[in-house]
């Protein structure tokens, strides 16, 4: 008898799992997704009026240092070279991001060399903070108050809806300070954008006669799923347990899409760092596909807000209380039989695409080995919950 697997969620986690499990097992796989499309928040679609490829749930730039992950995603479709550049509006001026030598010289009206800028920043950094405990301390400990206030404080407050002192330091570790003029937003070895969009890549991953995708099909904890050998759940962890211990905090994003003639802002992403501007950033999708030419343009303003039960959860907040609730759900999850939890929503972590893909890929392999050897099956891919 072939095994029957159920995967909840057709984003990268679900798609990679399906793609790998079908290779290992004599099985059929059902994938359910509550939306009317696959690819989760990586979903891309061409705009009806302009034909510009739009990342429907915010910009996704593929980055990884791992050749095996790069080769794996490239086996499902062509990725084009793409260097992500971001500028910031702060106090009525435009600056280069991530904070680099150009930003420092612009901001302080100087002509520092790399060594001079480094020494200068050292004089500004708060040396009393030796072990940063939160986002603000992390920032102050290496760039000081001026740059922190200009580029991080307002943006972060809008993005996360709380004081940066309440957020983990790890969020800021994503944004380095550079003492050269490199303004490539990402520093990974491999970077690109799929020529035909992410939805095409994910579609290829799950294209198989023994994989069936059902859209507009929402999983409910009361669904009868006992005919499945195992369930892989990639939706929000708290929803799986009917919010029994309360809701995990997420920020959601709303998008305001408009049209323009020519170019609107001249690059893919402009961040608005001042707290008074209601949106966090404006994205101009045509710049994600420089190999395509358009006379018209689309620009999309992103607003961040607290997630209500009707909203799509985006960014896990992971405040102190969230971590307590998370631990309760994880303990419950570990006591279940035949269910595993994968991905950004089910593990409640701020993850990049390559991270999600690598984890799902490895999880499928681990699952197969444990299954074959009749060992306890893995429930979560990670143990780091703090």
Q: Which is nearer to ligand UDP, 92 or 376 (CB)?
A: 92
Shortest Å distance, C-beta 119 to ligand UDP: 24
Contact 21, 372 (CB under 8 A): no
Q: Which is nearer to ligand UDP, 152 or 198 (CB)?
A: 152
Shortest Å distance, C-beta 247 to ligand UDP: 20
Judged by DSSP in three states, 228 sits in coil
As beta bridge partners, residue 269 has 86, 283
Q: Which is nearer to ligand UDP, 159 or 191 (CB)?
A: 159
Q: Which is nearer to ligand UDP, 87 or 208 (CB)?
A: 87
Binding site for ligand UDP (CB under 6 A): 88, 97, 151-152, 155-156, 159, 171-172, 174-175, 271, 273
The first and second tokens of residue 265, run together, are 């802002």
From 302, 322, 330, 361, the catalytic residue: 302
From 251, 318, 330, 349, the catalytic residue: 251
Shortest Å distance, C-beta 67 to ligand UDP: 23
Q: Which is nearer to ligand UDP, 159 or 340 (CB)?
A: 159
Shortest Å distance, C-beta 98 to ligand UDP: 8
From 20, 35, 178, 349, the catalytic residue: 178
Contact 267, 299 (CB under 8 A): no
* Degrees to nearest 5, angle at CA 192 with 187 and 196: 160
Contact 236, 317 (CB under 8 A): no
318 labelled catalytic = no
From 281, 318, 344, 349, the catalytic residue: 281
349 labelled catalytic = no
223 labelled catalytic = no
Q: Which is nearer to ligand UDP, 273 or 298 (CB)?
A: 273
Shortest Å distance, C-beta 207 to ligand UDP: 29
Cα radius of gyration (the chain): 22
From 65, 174, 207, 223, the catalytic residue: 174
306 labelled catalytic = no
Q: Give Cα separations from 103 to 53, 113, 153, 378 (angstroms).
A: 31, 12, 16, 46
From 116, 126, 182, 352, the catalytic residue: 352
Instruction: Output the DSSP codes for 260-305.
Output: EES-SSSSSEEEE--TTSS-SEEE-GGGG-TTS--SEEEEEEEEEE
259 labelled catalytic = no
Nearest of 142, 164, 167, 141 to residue 153 by alpha carbon: 164
Contact 255, 281 (CB under 8 A): no
Question: How does DSSP classify residue 125?
Answer: S
Shortest Å distance, C-beta 144 to ligand UDP: 15
Return the biggest CA–CA distance within the chain.
72
Please identify every residue annotated as catalytic: 174, 178, 251, 281, 302, 350, 352
């Amino acid at each position: 008898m072939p095994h029957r697997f159920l995967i909840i969620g057709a984003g990268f986690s679900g798609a990679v799992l399906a793609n790998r499990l079908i290779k290992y097992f004599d099985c059929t796989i059902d994938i359910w997704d509550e939306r009317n499309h696959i690819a989760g928040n990586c979903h891309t679609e061409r705009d009806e009026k302009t034909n510009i490829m739009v990342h429907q749930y915010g910009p996704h730039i593929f980055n990884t240092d791992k050749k095996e992950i790069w080769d794996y995603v490239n086996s499902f479709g062509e990725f084009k070279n793409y260097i992500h550049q971001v500028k910031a509006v702060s106090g009525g001026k435009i600056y280069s991001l991530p904070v680099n030598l150009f930003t420092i010289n612009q901001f302080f009206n100087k002509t520092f060399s790399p060594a001079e800028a480094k020494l200068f920043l050292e004089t500004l950094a708060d040396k009393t903070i030796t072990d940063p405990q939160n986002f603000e301390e992390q920032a102050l400990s290496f760039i000081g108050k001026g740059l922190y206030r200009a580029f991080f404080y307002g943006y972060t407050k809008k993005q996360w809806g709380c004081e940066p002192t309440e957020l983990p330091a790890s969020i800021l570790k994503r944004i380095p300070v550079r003492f050269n003029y490199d303004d490539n937003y990402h520093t990974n070895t491999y970077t690109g954008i799929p020529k035909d969009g992410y939805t095409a890549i994910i579609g290829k991953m799950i294209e198989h006669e023994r994989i069936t995708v059902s859209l507009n099909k929402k999983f409910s904890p009361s669904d009868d799923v006992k005919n499945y050998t195992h369930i892989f759940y990639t939706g929000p962890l708290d929803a799986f347990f009917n919010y029994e211990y309360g809701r995990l905090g997420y920020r959601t994003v709303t998008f305001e899409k408009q049209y323009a003639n020519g170019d609107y802002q001249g690059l893919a992403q402009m961040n608005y760092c001042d707290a008074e501007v209601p949106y966090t950033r404006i994205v101009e999708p045509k710049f994600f596909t420089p190999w395509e030419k358009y006379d018209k343009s689309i620009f999309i303003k992103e607003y961040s807000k607290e997630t209500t039960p009707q909203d799509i959860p985006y960014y896990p907040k992971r405040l102190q209380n969230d971590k307590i609730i998370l631990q309760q759900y994880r303990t419950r999850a570990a006591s279940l039989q035949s269910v595993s939890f994968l991905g950004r929503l089910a593990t409640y972590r701020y993850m990049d695409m390559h991270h999600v893909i690598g984890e799902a890929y490895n999880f499928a392999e681990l699952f197969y080995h444990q299954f074959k050897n009749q060992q306890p099956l893995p429930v979560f891919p990670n143990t780091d919950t703090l």
